[in-house]
Amino acid sequence: MAAKVRDIMTGSPTSVSPELDLVTVARAMRDEEIGAVLVADGDELMGVVTDRDLVIRGLAAGGDPKEAPVGRIASSGTVTVGPDDSLDRAAQIMRERSVRRLPVIEDGRPVGIVTLGDLARQGRTDSSRSNSSSVL
């Protein structure tokens, strides 16, 4: 039986409101030792913000990070997978879209996140073919 995303995903991903300021989000990421958060309005996924996004799209853009809402820098058009999708499908999406993280959506709400590292530990990536130098 093919392994499924639910078998390796990190469940209960950290989600933040799009109105939350960049400093608060950065501190949450530091405290939880994570590199990305889901930006959601209730159960509706609006995007993903990584630690790199905070620096490149947030701090480097200027303005007061205590006033800037994280929703402004969240990636839009975020690609997702379902918990019952195969690991091969998740790896294919990551290669095609050049992303390192995929939110896992079930019944319209975020239930997890699967990363390139998760797939690599399962032997589901081929770094010579993967073009995932950019992040979500």
- 5-121, CATH topology level: CBS-domain (3.10.580)
Mean pLDDT of 5-9: 96
Distance of CA 115 to the CA centre of its chain: 8
pLDDT at residue 129 greater than cutoff 60: no
- Residue 12 has phi, psi (to 5 degrees) of 50, 65
Query: Three-state DSSP class for 128?
Result: coil
Domain positions in the chain are 5-121
Query: Cβ neighbours of residue 106 under 8 Å, at least 6 residues apart?
Result: 82, 83
Query: Three-state DSSP class for 29?
Result: helix
**Which pLDDT band holds residue 124 (cuts at 50, 70, 90)?**
low
pTM of the model: 0.84
Mean pLDDT of 67-82: 93
